[in-house]
Amino acid sequence: MSLLAALNPPQREAAKYLDGPLLVLAGAGSGKTRVITHKIAYLIGECGYKPGSIAAITFTNKAAREMQERASKLTQNVNTKGLIVTTFHSMGLRMLREDAKFAELKPAFSILDSADAAGIVSDILKTTDKQEIRRAVGRISLWKNALQSPAAALAAAEDDNARVYAKIYDRYDATLRAYQAVDFDDLIRLPAELLDTHLELREKWQNRLRHILVDEYQDTNVAQYRLLQKLTGVRAAFTAVGDDDQAIYGWRGASADNLRQLNEDYPHLHVIKLEQNYRSTIRILKAANALIANNPKLFEKRLWSELGVGDAIQVMPTRDDEHEAESVVMRLLSHKFQHRTEWRDYAILYRGNYQARVFEQALRNEKVPYQLSGGQSFFDRAEIKDVISYLRLIANSDDDPAFIRAVTTPKRGIGAATLEKLGQVAATLHVSLFEAVFSAAAASQIGERQLAPLTEFCQFINRFEERIVREPAGELLNDLLKIIDYEIYLFDQDDQRAAQGKWNNVLEFAAWIAKKGEEDEKDLLQLTQTIALITLLEGREEQEPDAVRLSTLHAAKGLEFGHVFLVGVEENILPHRDAVDEGRLEEERRLMYVGVTRAKKSLTLSYCSRRKRARESVACDPSRFIDELGDDVRQPEKPTTAEAKASGSDRLAALKAMLG
């Protein structure tokens, strides 16, 4: 049987097309991952491509892992060692590791996380105002994603406000260079700029990669587009897979115009549409098509399904926030009892995280297990960040944020006053805090008793740096934890139960480091650079609990559920008031479209007549998007007198009794 026999005709055409640049317009649930993985298998198994000459690039670790696993199954009898299935950021990191000197970075450069970036901006602004810090960080991120340097941002500034932010960007950029560090946005910006300015690099990577496949292409920003362009060169051997109807990240720099740009930059671009949906019923797709038809279209497409007509979409008006949450949970419970489904078949989706609290309460009241998307990452836990600060410092002694955290955790008798003096020495000499410890200025300006623990700490770090390339990552980390007495420190800081939980997390992290080091043949330095890009431990996402999923619409993209409750479908929420004011109504409609197309079998929309805002109760109007779903949407019927008298709890109790 042919490798591509399981694909439908448009999918098969997309997998086989190799005559130039290809855009695959893949509607929701149309099997885009299937196309990408089959194309990888086809390139290796039937076209003779070397695995190392193929790169499949997506946006999340989870998507990359799924793609890798599915491609491996399709190529079981073929050696796929060297195949690159990765995220944009990991691809950028791979390139920077190899070519760090071109960016004036040492190979052991640090990758700063969002907290580090916010800390630097906070120091520049001399404020702890989180909102102001967030604004500045967001502005810098948008400039970087648009490939604008600090000088270009300053030159283009149209008012005093923009000029202030551009100057913050300049100081932020200078700080990163001093730390020999990059942030997330730099992982794409820098490789794109290096390929643009260094012919030898461009030729090296273009010769190495013969075909590039890009998933979720509509979510790319200017920097990602430019990186792809420079990697593929004149051959333009790429397959871009995306859906302009699911472009929902404009607010963070993604440009749906990249699809239009493809048409202009590549006149011979071949376009294939995937319109058969394998997820949802006809009624859900009919409503989704009707909704998105209100947006202007770059490419016309219409989703269809062979999965049956399905249930009508339900609309549920409610009195207020609490009544909405109670009504949704009661309807969910009733549906589960009737249909004998599992908890994981249900999702409650909303526009903003703030809407989750009242639903969490309602689910807890009924003892319903739930999972909250976008919760704290494993790597964001304080104890894990403590350990990582040591690893970052061992990898790059110029990493000042890592130095400050590591040198004070556990306590070593090094106080704020000593660190302040050290900071002054470092600033005067224009060196890192670590380097400043060994300077003559530090010896003269910091007392011997205060300097001794600093010197001892730095010597300890140097010893570990010498071991990093010789010893297995797991052994090295375990040795580090013993020497710094981190377990004792945790139990001194917390009660026994909390401390044990934190120590278990550290042990889990150490085990992961050991396993990853062995499997990927990476030393502690390489793993440290990789950690910053990982949001959860490998394998944790696959162990999905049997629980109702609570998620924002943005976080739900790419997921699917048997039964979806889309809540808060009101004017000023969906579409959001700010988005309407800023002329981003079309993106809000696409967000609604994403929510609708998450549902496989049933979809229920709810809205409130009144909603609490601050301490007031304000009147709400149903979203304009409800009417745009078409006439196959079941509006609420008036309850009978008996039904009106019965509470949700009474109805549920009766239902349980009836079902035995």
Token pair in block for residue 640: 């009978």
Report the distance separating Cα 227 and Cα 220, nearest Å.
10
Which of 12, 32, 39, 189 is the catalytic position? 32
Active site residue 163: no
Report the distance separating Cα 570 and Cα 590, nearest Å.
15
Cis peptide before 410 (omega within 30 of 0): yes
Report the distance separating Cα 546 and Cα 503, nearest Å.
27
Which of 99, 215, 219, 570 is the catalytic position? 215
Report the distance separating Cα 345 and Cα 83, nearest Å.
34
Instruction: Sort 521 into a burial class: Cβ within 10 Å, 0-12 / 13-18 / 19+.
Output: exposed
Helix or strand or coil: residue 23? strand
Quick one: which of 575, 550, 546 has its CA closest to 564? 550
Active site residue 33: yes
Quick one: which of 350, 353, 362 has its CA closest to 322? 362
Active site residue 314: no
> Terminal CA-to-CA distance of the chain, rounded, Å?
50
Which of 33, 418, 528, 552 is the catalytic position? 33
* Residue whose pair of structure tokens reads 């550290």 in the numeric block: 506
Q: How many residues does the chain have?
A: 660
Which of 68, 175, 232, 246 is the catalytic position? 246
Which of 216, 219, 383, 400 is the catalytic position? 216
Report CA-CA distances (Å) from 557 to 198, 498, 536: 37, 35, 18
Active site residue 32: yes
Q: Are 335 and 599 in contact (CB under 8 A)?
A: no
Active site residue 466: no
Helix or strand or coil: residue 370? strand
Q: Are 68 and 85 in contact (CB under 8 A)?
A: yes
Which of 598, 601, 611, 624 is the catalytic position? 598
Active site residue 598: yes
Q: Are 201 and 239 in contact (CB under 8 A)?
A: no
Q: Are 602 and 632 in contact (CB under 8 A)?
A: no
Helix or strand or coil: residue 189? helix
Residues annotated catalytic, as ranges: 32-33, 215-216, 246, 598
